[in-house]
Amino acid sequence: MGLDVEMKTAEPAAAPSPLIHLKAAIALIEKGVAKKEMRLMARAIRQMLAVRRRLKASTVSSFLNYALPSGSEALSRLLGFVAKVELGDASMEVDTPPSMAQSSQLSYKQSVLPELESFSYLLVIIFLIDQKHLEDAKVCSSAAIKRLQQFNRRTLDVLAARLYFYYSLSYERTDSLADIRGTLLALHRTATLRHDELGQETLLNLLLRNYLHYNLYDQAEKLRSKTLRSDSHSNQQLCRYLYYLGKIRTIQLEYTDAKECLLQAARKAPSSARGFRIQCTKWAAIVRLLLGEIPERTTFMQQGMRKALLPYFELTNAVRIGDLELFRAVADKNASVFYADKTHNLIVRLRHNVIRTGLRNISISYSRISLRDVASKLHLDSATAVADAESIVTKAIRDGGIDASVDHSKGWMQSKETGDIYSTQEPQQAFHSRIAFCLNTHNEAVKALRFPPDAHKKELESAEKRRERQQQELELAKHIAEEDDDEF
């Protein structure tokens, strides 16, 4: 698909060496397991990704020696992969790898947390993918998935979801996505049974991506519509889901839904995910054209996207003018781009919209025009051009594209007077939908706010205290009153 849907937020690299960062990540994971706090896991992964670009074979292997018990199966396997990379670019190595004796001393402890093991797998897989050792990454990720299937721990979910993602990525890069479909489906089933919502979400997206990679829209839609989706746990996964859903809807000609999904995906995607946003914008532009809307010029002029969107800009221009000749020329000129984006079939569908727009322009400019002139203006060049024009015009009238009527005997098209839109309910409805949108956005924002756990308890305690205090005061008052009585 040529598109990088990775949406990692790249954090500015900090100065200390990667190894220190990774060790800090271990501490986070252990704390996370102890406290059952998922967010710490996610933070550990983020910390690793921050040093991703600076990873070296030596760093990775010393980390592995540190994190995993010596002599364990995982350690020897993972070290094997890293050693291969090291051999590949031995000339570039400057750091001396720590000696075995030293590392075994450093070894963390004898039995290791499954989370730490998964984390090590994840690190090695990412490292292998970055170093372009894709076959090894495939083997390694398959082993990791096998290992994961032996555990049933909720604290693993965050790490597992990431592992699934890289598992699929390594197969996609080696163009063998079809092989893992069965495994992914099995994993999705397991995740559903265990209420691992993040896993479900990730795996569903991976499956959709898997199907769409082979244009299996039918299967993708069937899977999607039969899967229960809970509220999203991760913004990235939600974006991806919306993008895939938008694509499916586009193919099924449900353009209104598709537009909503694609625009939302583009809006929600983090600004660093440029490739993803470009892809969303491309599809959204086509869907809007198919709906008969013209995307604004600014859509195509966004920072850093201008060049990638140029073919689509030209296309929009052709549709806007309603010129079939120009449209054909643009489609031919950029055919290779459209094939690569898999939008070619959609472009073919657009032809009909070009005619429609042209017709609308004619109907606005002329109050009455002969069908012969319509045919020549639309460049309909067949033997029965006038009859063609007539049937096209009648269909446009039926579909509500233009407001006109045709006089067959006299052979002309008569446009109707456009009524005053403000005498209808239209403005009221438009206004309402905008207000509803704003209110909805506000509510979503409130929902998305994160509250620290147990924060409300403090207040509760203080309330208790207050009650205590009030009681004390009450007693005191009573006391005083009694004293008063005594004195009396």
Partner 1 sequence: MEAKLQDINHIFQKFQVEYARNSFDNCNNLLSQLKVKLTELPGLPPLFKPSPTAAQELVLARDILEHAVVLSVKMEDQDAFERHFLQLKSYYTDTRGLVPPSEQEYPILGLNLLRLLVQNRIAEFHTELELLPPEAHENACIKHAVELEQSFMEGAYNRVLSARQAVPHETYVYFMDLLAKTVRDEIAGCSEKAYDSLSVTDAKKILMFSSDWELQEYVSEDHPSWEIRGSSVYFQKVKDLAPCKEIPSLQLINQTLGYARELERIV
**What residue ranges bind partner 1 (CB under 8 A)?**
215-218, 251-254, 339, 342, 344-345, 348-349, 351-352, 355, 382, 384, 387-388, 391-398, 404-409, 419-420, 423-425, 428, 432, 435, 439, 442-443
What does the alpha-carbon distance between residue 169 and residue 40 come to, in Å, rounded to a whole number? Answer: 24
Q: Are strands 412-415 and 404-407 parallel, antiparallel or unpaired?
A: antiparallel
What does the alpha-carbon distance between residue 162 and residue 168 come to, in Å, rounded to a whole number? Answer: 10
Which is closer to partner 1, CB of 45 or CB of 413? 413
Q: Name the DSSP class of 96.
A: P
What does the alpha-carbon distance between residue 106 and residue 121 come to, in Å, rounded to a whole number? Answer: 19
Shortest approach of partner 1 to residue 188 CB, angstroms?
Answer: 20
Which is closer to partner 1, CB of 221 or CB of 293? 221
The kind and range of the H/E element at 370 are strand 368-370
What does the alpha-carbon distance between residue 72 and residue 113 come to, in Å, rounded to a whole number? Answer: 12
Which is closer to partner 1, CB of 440 or CB of 472? 440
Shortest approach of partner 1 to residue 363 CB, angstroms?
Answer: 12
Shortest approach of partner 1 to residue 9 CB, angstroms?
Answer: 30
Shortest approach of partner 1 to residue 365 CB, angstroms?
Answer: 19
**What's the token pair of residue 342?**
């898999």
What does the alpha-carbon distance between residue 190 and residue 210 come to, in Å, rounded to a whole number? Answer: 18
Which is closer to partner 1, CB of 104 or CB of 215? 215
End-to-end Cα spacing for the chain: 95
Neighbouring C-alpha atoms within 13 Å toward the C-beta of 251: 16
Which is closer to partner 1, CB of 199 or CB of 311? 311
Shortest approach of partner 1 to residue 262 CB, angstroms?
Answer: 17
Other CB atoms within a 10 A radius of the CB of residue 342 amount to 16
Contact in structure between 3 and 276 (CB atoms under 8 Å): yes
Which is closer to partner 1, CB of 306 or CB of 442? 442
What does the alpha-carbon distance between residue 50 and residue 47 come to, in Å, rounded to a whole number? Answer: 5
Contact in structure between 435 and 443 (CB atoms under 8 Å): no
Shortest approach of partner 1 to residue 287 CB, angstroms?
Answer: 13
Which is closer to partner 1, CB of 85 or CB of 392? 392
Shortest approach of partner 1 to residue 425 CB, angstroms?
Answer: 6
